[in-house]
Amino acid sequence: MFRIKRLYIEASAQDDPVTRRVRQRLAHLPVEIIPSREVLRSAGPLTPADISRGKETLVLARQQGPFWRACPGTKEYICCGYQILQVMTNCPLDCSYCILQSYFNLPAITVFTNWEDLWQEVAQQATAHPRQVLRVGTGEFGDSLALDELLGLNRELITRLATWPHLVLEIKTKWHRVTPLLDLGPNPRVIFAWSLNPPRLSRQEEHGAAALAARLAAARQCARAGFRLAFHFDPLIYFPGWEAEYQQVVAELFSTVPAAAIAWISLGTFRYLPALKNIIRARFPASRIVEEEFITALDGKQRYFKTLRAEMLSKMREWIQTQAPAVFVYLCMESPWLWRQVFGFVPSTEELAKKLDERAAAV
């Protein structure tokens, strides 16, 4: 199951059904019972070695805070109103650009096991907002699918969320093994979403993730099973000759999956917190992605110059909408100025969220 080499279990999580399932499936690993996952937390930022070790370490713990949270978004930028189910933090895949490397100070993948509380929170939110479309997902702090054969989370989520027609689940991933979930279709309230990059970038920067062809083949399987799809060209990464390779990905996308199955496509250019630069250089010495020119943006992140961002986003939009004029394209965490450059208008966060809600409900 990926490269997981160490398993820690909080004493209070030992009897949860998902804990028993994981122990069974990782029976070859020694288990250490700990009083709390806090004993693993580092006093300061994680070292590059800690981060690498964290990709091989799994902690099963009880969620002490809420599972259901509004996506934090990013200050000064336009967000999409996504709701996060925080069932796990950190990820077994290892993308060089992953912001999570500088985000957590606990060197492990944590899976929260008190799912009875998760289902209760979902029910509370669903009944508290009966007339509002709620777009939810587990993919903000990790990959929604990569550990699914270990956890069995998506099967339960899809089944339980089906109770409420105004809840739409987006399963965001760079993984490809969807076969165990296909019998749950058709269900247009479930949107399988892949993040895409050209194959060369994927090989160089998205370690452990499925190849582009495998992601697209999985997307086709999901569409045939009656699920809807989404795609995220995020992060778009600049390199000399990026146009031809990204244009090729767009062409492959539309020759593999039916445009009518696509709920939305988002675009976002590469950005990172300053602390990530040295981590990327230390952990991925062959990577060149932080060697371009960047400016410090309003949210404190390093971003490409505005003119380059505008060019990349506008061209991607044009290539996508030439192939599929009706597909809804939006920008993820980009500035009002860029919205105007790329689309000729600036939505408020509420307007963008409403548009996505309408797309989510349009089944």
List contacts with ligand SF4 (CB under 6 A). Answer: 91, 93-95, 98, 100, 142-143, 174
Nearer to ligand SF4, 95 or 193 (CB): 95
CB 47 within 8 A of CB 270: no
How many angstroms separate the CA atoms of 95 and 49, rounded?
A: 15
For the chain, what is the radius of gyration of the CA atoms?
20
Question: Shortest gap between Cβ of 174 and ligand SF4 (angstroms)?
Answer: 5
Nearer to ligand SF4, 203 or 340 (CB): 203
Nearer to ligand SF4, 169 or 310 (CB): 169
Nearer to ligand SF4, 267 or 324 (CB): 267
CB contact set of 55 (below 8 Å; sequence gap of 6+)? 3, 90, 91, 92, 94, 109
The three-class DSSP label of residue 63 is: coil
Q: For residue 56, which of 90, 27, 18, 102 has the smallest C-alpha distance?
A: 90
Nearer to ligand SF4, 81 or 142 (CB): 142
Question: Shortest gap between Cβ of 140 and ligand SF4 (angstroms)?
Answer: 9
**DSSP result, 310-325:** HHHHHHHHHHHHHH-T
Q: Which residues pair with 171 in a beta bridge?
A: 192
Question: Shortest gap between Cβ of 172 and ligand SF4 (angstroms)?
Answer: 8
Question: Shortest gap between Cβ of 207 and ligand SF4 (angstroms)?
Answer: 8
Nearer to ligand SF4, 69 or 224 (CB): 69
CB contact set of 92 (below 8 Å; sequence gap of 6+)? 2, 3, 4, 55, 109, 143, 146, 147, 208
Task: Give per-residue burial for 146-174: e unless 16+ CB within 10 Å, then b.
Answer: bbbebbbbbeebbebbeebeebbbbbbbb
Question: Shortest gap between Cβ of 362 and ligand SF4 (angstroms)?
Answer: 27
Question: Shortest gap between Cβ of 100 and ligand SF4 (angstroms)?
Answer: 5
